[in-house]
A and B are shown apart, each in its own frame.
Chain A
């Protein structure tokens, strides 16, 4: 950077603010990577001193189940991403590019369903599809007079299917801004040339959304690898061990010892290795991003692809199938379990036990849990979106040296196992405790969760920023408008739907985040997610479900509020 340009940057308060936020994002991310690398290479705990050793890697690679876990995890990760895209891409297209009637319902149930705890979704499918007494197995066997149960939920296939469907909502929200931002003129031109809507989707829309779909796939591959609920509830009974169940055993159920953070970190290093390769692929793809710039200064009004009556019907059958699998069954299961004293399959006999006792019992818990949860829901997405809009701008809209390194660091951070990530902030909180005593407050949790969500925010907002054509900034530059002003007055307003979606979605993700709060929780910082987990761990499924229903109502209220904001702002 020349001296003159550097002086300009230093004099521009907006750019200084952006730089500061990028630094915050990087420090938080690098902290996690630092703890990951050094924990994996240290014999014992980091706080007990630095004793470099490869023993953690030896333990992991030398374990007889290593290759089985690698194989199961790879299949599970790839399969999950495939299932997720099969649902999410059509949903995003239907919602943003077509005239499908009542499509707001799609967003409503995609968001509300996040409140259903995953362990209950898994339990619901176990009750439905287990070979011993699964309701679906009993019905189908009776109807078709089968000797053996037709479904066996304890398989990698079902883990993949359920994980994939569970990840549809976050994927939908990640790719939605990009689908929304595509200039409708391109589709109109295709239609005017007599190209069918399916060919337009395949040849115009999907290639334009390619970078964000690729980045979502990379991102959720890593997330899928870390998902525990389905692998734990469905895979563990038949010893289908994957990366997440192994980490769980190393940290939560260690062999009569302290948690094996070092070995968990060594496993995380393998994850970082994989993501490094994927990031190279991703960076290569966005280098050609100019091809994907679809928002220009001449953006035309968006017009919808018109669907025929049959197509609308088929679309709703498709949405309905997803709703049944991922929303109706889990929510029914949640409500059913909350009304019973113990978990039992639906039956007339079970209906005699229905009552609201669980709600009465847990009611005094709600105010303090809700207060802490709302603090997280507001503070975490604000921190994460403010940081990630700055990192995304630097990465996608500037030629700053080292921007690819920032991109890589943010991407690599998602490969840090959540438990190791939380451990990093535990160390941070303790090391600054005497000067900044946030360790015993909820604010440490805010920073720890916020740091993990910067990656998601960065991915989503980067996707939207990539759609901006450089001609807009060039026009500002020619008019003598500073870069900082351009960022505030031109870039941010255009990507505001992405910012709003990111904030909202990160708020929802925060509500469900369990791994970080469970590592940092103290008696005064309990949140709804930790209460659900603790009640379930205590064998009190009805209480866990009742808190889940309250969470569902909270998320429902949030969705309604969000819709209201979107309508008022005409986003």
Chain B
């Protein structure tokens, strides 16, 4: 009798758990738009997906964390590769050459600036996708490029907190002309970084400022963008322009973003034409663009924060001193693909690069 009662209880428990699982899985399934639900079995069959991260190399441990979060969210096993294949212009050039002879792209999802994606599009290397069907909001879709806004890249001014008091930090670009920064400012030796000053100050004042930075303040250059924060953190320079402190500050480096309005631009993801894993690639873009865990992980692992994602450096800057995008002053695509190029060429001469 006792045994029979226990057996009955066990059955009841099993039924309850089974019912709970069915309900929760039904709920889980219903959280995805139909287009995503349709993709999940296809992505499962593909089993892996690869994301181009430019020069930003993540460890395999971090890629594994990303894979686990992705797998958990969609309920399928998935291996995500974070591929740091090199500088964007060089990799785009390779993709163009490879496509001509039918080599499949080494990555499925390509993340880059509007300027670079424009080059990809001209080479017909971007796959047409109705991103809206995947629940991605209109404001995050760059329709002409079939791209999804994933990351905000900021051309910030940073300073060393051990050597510069918070009150003395620059508050506007004009402050960089103060005599105390002479020989103490560093920026990447790359003219592409500087047109974003024009978004804040306007074209002519920006040109004049850069000229003064070079001639009067003896602006120093670094080979890479990330080197700017590294060399401000180690005290070699007091102030730097071109990158944010996020990565180094997290590690405890004595650096901070200056409290001033700076220029920024959108880095967007596209699905490459002839991608080897097209279904998983679509899911990956969905994961990075809409899923809070995905957004958190790309910020933490790749420093890909976005201006509207709370908790990211980009969010803090956007809601603090403020960020100016090309779309704030006019046609974003026009500015990124035409004006930016023109300004860069002019600035290259001013910078002596």
Contacts of B64 in A (CB 8 A): 364
B226 engages A539 (CB within 8 Å): yes
A344 engages B90 (CB within 8 Å): no
Nearest-Cβ distance from residue B160 to partner chain A, whole angstroms: 10
Which B211-236 residues have C-beta < 8 A from chain A?
Answer: 218, 220-224, 226-227, 229-231, 233-236
Q: Complex: how many Å from CA A362 to CA B63?
A: 12
Q: Complex: how many Å from CA A531 to CA B97?
A: 24
Which among B101, B184, B340, B352 is the interface contact of A256 at CB below 8 angstroms? Answer: B340
Knowing A364-B59, A537-B55, A538-B56 are in contact, say whether A434-B102 is a contact too (CB < 8 A).
yes
Knowing A256-B340, A534-B57 are in contact, say whether A344-B101 is a contact too (CB < 8 A).
no
Q: Complex: how many Å from CA A540 to CA B226?
A: 9
Q: Complex: how many Å from CA A304 to CA B55?
A: 52
Nearest-Cβ distance from residue B66 to partner chain A, whole angstroms: 13
B248 engages A255 (CB within 8 Å): no
**Chain A, interface size: which category?**
35 or more
Contacts of A538 in B (CB 8 A): 55-58, 84, 226, 247
Tally inter-chain residue pairs, CB-CB below 8 A. 169
CB of A427 closer than 8 Å to a CB of B:
yes
B60 engages A364 (CB within 8 Å): yes
Q: Which residue of A lies closest to B186 (CB)?
A: A237
Nearest-Cβ distance from residue A344 to partner chain B, whole angstroms: 5
Knowing A345-B234, A535-B57 are in contact, say whether A249-B190 is a contact too (CB < 8 A).
yes
Q: Which residue of B lies closest to A239 (CB)?
A: B352
A342 engages B192 (CB within 8 Å): no
Nearest-Cβ distance from residue A113 to partner chain B, whole angstroms: 22
CB of B89 closer than 8 Å to a CB of A:
yes
Contacts of B227 in A (CB 8 A): 539
A342 engages B106 (CB within 8 Å): no
Which one of B57, B233, B345 has the highest number of Cβ atoms from chain A below 10 Å of its Cβ?
A: B57
B222 engages A133 (CB within 8 Å): no
Contacts of B348 in A (CB 8 A): 255
A523 engages B83 (CB within 8 Å): yes
Contacts of A253 in B (CB 8 A): 87, 189-192
CB of A361 closer than 8 Å to a CB of B:
yes
Residues of B at the A interface (CB closer than 8 Å) are 50, 55-61, 64, 81, 83-87, 89-90, 92-94, 96-98, 100-103, 106-107, 115, 119, 183-184, 186, 189-192, 218, 220-224, 226-227, 229-231, 233-237, 247-248, 251-253, 340-341, 344-345, 348-349, 352-353
Q: A132-B235, A343-B234, A537-B84 are in contact. List 16 more A-B contacts (CB 8 A).
A: A133-B234, A233-B223, A238-B218, A239-B221, A239-B352, A245-B189, A341-B253, A342-B253, A344-B235, A430-B97, A433-B101, A440-B103, A521-B85, A536-B224, A537-B57, A538-B56
| 18 cross-chain CB contacts under 8 A | A132-B183, A133-B235, A239-B221, A248-B223, A252-B90, A258-B93, A342-B253, A345-B234, A345-B235, A362-B59, A365-B59, A430-B100, A430-B103, A434-B102, A531-B57, A539-B227, A539-B229, A543-B57
